[in-house]
C-alpha cells in the first residue's frame, strides 16, 4: 500500500473527488492480464483490492507482487512508452481505472492538480528506485540509518494518507477484509 500513500498524501480532497468521479471501478478476474509487456496502456490504475503479479519475458518468476494501494501504468503514462513488464491478476481484483485521455485533459486544464499529480508520481517512483537499489546491495548503510530517523511529520503524513485511501475505498464501495 506504500505507493498510494504518496498519492493520497499529496493530492487534496478535490483531486480525490475528481479521481472518484472520473475513474471507473473495474473487476479483474484471476489470471487476467491487466497490462501486457510491450502493449499499449490507455489507463492509470489504482489497485483497490486483490493481488497482482508483475512478470517480464526472459525472467523466471515474478518481479513483484502488488497489493491494495499500488499504482499501475504510471510509467507508461509519464513517458508514453510501452510497458516493460506484464501485470497479471493472481486472484480476482478491483482497480480504479482512470483513462489516459481524461487524465491528460485534466492535467492540461488544471495546473495545480498537475503539479500535485506529478509530484506524487515522482515521490513514489523515487521510493521504488530506492527500494530497488537497496535490494541490489547499494547504499544499505544509508538506507538503514534513514529508516531510524523517521520524523513525526512523515508519520503523520502516512497516517493521513492511509485514512484518505480507506475513505476512497469506502466511497467506491470496496470492502477490505479484516486484518
- pLDDT tens digits along 87-113: 999 999 999 999 999 999 999 999 999
pTM above 0.85, yes or no: no
Q: Which domains does the chain have, with CATH numbers?
A: 2-171 (2.60.120.10)
CA dist., res. 35 & res. 25, Å (int): 16
Instruction: Give the strand pairing for 43-49 and 93-99.
Output: antiparallel
CA distances from 95 to 34, 46, 48, 89, 112 (A): 10, 5, 5, 11, 25
Task: Copy the grid coordinates of residue 39.
Answer: 502493449
Residues 6+ apart with CB under 8 A from 7: 46, 71, 120, 121, 124, 161
* 58 phi-psi bin (left φ>0, alpha ψ -120 to 50, beta other): left
Q: What pLDDT digit, counting tens, does each position of 125-173 carry?
A: 887 788 778 777 765 544 444 444 444 555 556 677 777 778 788 888 8
Per residue in 11-29, pLDDT (tens digit) is 888 998 999 999 999 999 9
Cα separation of 50 and 30, whole Å? Answer: 9
Amino acid at each position: 500500500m506504500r505507493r498510494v500513500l504518496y498519492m493520497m498524501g499529496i493530492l487534496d480532497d478535490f483531486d480525490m473527488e475528481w479521481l472518484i468521479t472520473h475513474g471507473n471501478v473495474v473487476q479483474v478476474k484471476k489470471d487476467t492480464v491487466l497490462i501486457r509487456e510491450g502493449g499499449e496502456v490507455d489507463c492509470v490504475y489504482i489497485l483497490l483490492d486483490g493481488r497482482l503479479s508483475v512478470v517480464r519475458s526472459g525472467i523466471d518468476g515474478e518481479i513483484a507482487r502488488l497489493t491494495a494501494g499500488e499504482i499501475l501504468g504510471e510509467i507508461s503514462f509519464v513517458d508514453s512508452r510501452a510497458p516493460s513488464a506484464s501485470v497479471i491478476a493472481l486472484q480476482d481484483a478491483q482497480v480504479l481505472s482512470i483513462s489516459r485521455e481524461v487524465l491528460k485533459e485534466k492535467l492540461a486544464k488544471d495546473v495545480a492538480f498537475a503539479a500535485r499529480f506529478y509530484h506524487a508520481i515522482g515521490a513514489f517512483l523515487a521510493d521504488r528506485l530506492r527500494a530497488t537499489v537497496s535490494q541490489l546491495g547499494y547504499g544499505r548503510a544509508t538506507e538503514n540509518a534513514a529508516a531510524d530517523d523517521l520524523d513525526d511529520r512523515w508519520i503523520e503524513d502516512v497516517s493521513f494518507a492511509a485514512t484518505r485511501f480507506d475513505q476512497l475505498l469506502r466511497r467506491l464501495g470496496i470492502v477490505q477484509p479484516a486484518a
